[in-house]
């Protein structure tokens, strides 16, 4: 059986939260321990430059996100774990792809269109204001990330679906012109529908400011869980588990028999205070060991660097020969 090549990147701005963890990171860590999968996970630091021009923030976020993957037990013997910028073939491929991508395709990108729409709302009457070529051609860089390793499965959030479709279009275009070099990747949408709700009950998302950061201190974790919005049904009154943020979060962390027990307690009328403290206990139990490792790892940047360099070397055993073939394919070679 041919192994699935599963590839995903995390943009190195900001801090991962429990929603990212449940929807994307935890499944990716589990997949890394599956011998039938060949995982490629990377820090998308070139993508970070599209939204962030604060060098220290990009550097710090890269370190934190790398430490997070390692702290959560990523199996680096099976998974290829690297920094995008350590694999220069990605940028080289980006150019080859840029030259087969129609501008019209990029005009349709949601990220670009929503930036234009926002500008059109403002009084200044400049639709292109602040839009860089990086933002505009972002989907081509992402296509290069994926196609360079011929990934067939790409786990992403729903918002990234269009980028995977564009990757397929770009790959098909290249294949049509130069021959069958690329596999067409498929998106795998986050966590089989287990989308975690945030503090206000809407989907947990950076843009809603309703997140619980993954490695928040124990004290802050408790405080944030206590802030989760509930209804005003009194203790001892029966409660509904459907549409309850506390319950759905509990379910994302507990075993089936524990969930059944909590369902029974809801019917009996568990108080929200008690439920919050049970939820804190469950989340903390799962996160605490990794949180401790994470803190230790942050103090060992040399170790993290070493892991990333091992990963980049592994990645390049694929990307260098493939890139040589692609260069040849387009007519760029020595005489």
5, 11, 67, 278: which one binds ligand TRP (CB under 6 A): 11
* 160 lies in the binding site for ligand TRP (CB under 6 A): yes
Closest distance to ligand TRP from the beta carbon of 216 (Å): 21
Angle between helix axes 133-147 and 89-98 (nearest 10 degrees) is: 110
7, 66, 90, 279: which one binds ligand TRP (CB under 6 A): 7
* 152 lies in the binding site for ligand TRP (CB under 6 A): no
* 67 lies in the binding site for ligand TRP (CB under 6 A): no
CB atoms < 10 A from the CB of 274, how many?
11
Angle between helix axes 161-178 and 133-147 (nearest 10 degrees) is: 70
Question: How far apart (Å, rounded) are the C-alpha atoms in residues 51 and 28?
Answer: 24
* 204 lies in the binding site for ligand TRP (CB under 6 A): no
* 64 lies in the binding site for ligand TRP (CB under 6 A): no
Closest distance to ligand TRP from the beta carbon of 40 (Å): 9
* 8 lies in the binding site for ligand TRP (CB under 6 A): yes
User: With contact defined as beta carbons under 8 Å apart, do 115 and 130 qualify?
Assistant: yes
Q: Residue 156 or 246: which CB sits closer to ligand TRP?
A: 156
Largest alpha-carbon pair distance within the chain? 83
Closest distance to ligand TRP from the beta carbon of 323 (Å): 17
* 101 lies in the binding site for ligand TRP (CB under 6 A): no
CB atoms < 10 A from the CB of 314, how many?
16
User: With contact defined as beta carbons under 8 Å apart, do 61 and 120 qualify?
Assistant: no
Question: How far apart (Å, rounded) are the C-alpha atoms in residues 198 and 204?
Answer: 4
* Contact positions vs ligand TRP (CB under 6 A): 7-9, 11, 44, 47, 142, 145-146, 154, 156, 160
């Amino acid at each position: 059986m041919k192994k699935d090549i599963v590839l995903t990147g995390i943009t190195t701005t900001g801090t991962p939260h429990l929603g990212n963890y449940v929807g994307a990171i935890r499944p990716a860590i589990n997949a890394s321990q599956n011998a039938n999968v060949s995982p490629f996970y990377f820090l998308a630091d070139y993508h970070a430059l599209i939204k962030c021009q604060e060098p220290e923030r990009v550097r710090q976020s890269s370190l934190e996100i790398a430490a997070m993957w390692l702290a959560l037990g990523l199996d680096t013997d099976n998974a290829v774990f690297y920094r995008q910028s350590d694999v220069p073939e990605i940028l080289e491929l980006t150019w080859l792809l840029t030259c087969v991508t129609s501008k019209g395709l990029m005009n349709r990108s949601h990220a670009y269109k929503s930036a234009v729409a926002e500008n059109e709302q403002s009084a200044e009457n400049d639709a292109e204001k602040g839009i860089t070529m990086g933002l505009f051609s972002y989907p081509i860089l992402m296509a290069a990330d994926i196609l360079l390793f011929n990934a067939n499965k790409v786990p992403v959030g729903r918002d990234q679906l269009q980028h995977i479709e564009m990757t397929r279009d770009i790959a098909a275009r290249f294949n049509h012109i130069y021959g069958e070099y690329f596999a067409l990747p498929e998106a795998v949408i986050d966590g089989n529908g287990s989308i975690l709700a945030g503090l206000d009950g809407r989907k947990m998302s950076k843009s809603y400011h309703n997140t619980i950061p993954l490695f928040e201190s124990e004290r802050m974790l408790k405080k944030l869980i206590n802030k989760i919005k509930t209804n005003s049904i009194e203790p001892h009154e029966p409660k509904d588990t459907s549409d309850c943020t506390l319950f759905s979060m509990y379910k994302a962390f507990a075993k089936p028999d524990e969930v059944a027990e909590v369902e029974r307690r809801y019917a009996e009328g568990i108080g929200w205070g008690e439920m919050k403290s049970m939820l804190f206990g469950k989340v903390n139990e799962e996160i605490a060991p990794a949180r401790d490792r994470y803190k230790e790892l942050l103090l060992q940047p040399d170790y993290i660097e070493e892991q990333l360099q091992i990963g980049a070397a592994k990645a390049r055993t694929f990307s260098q020969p493939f890139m040589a073939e692609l260069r040849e394919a387009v007519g760029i070679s020595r005489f």
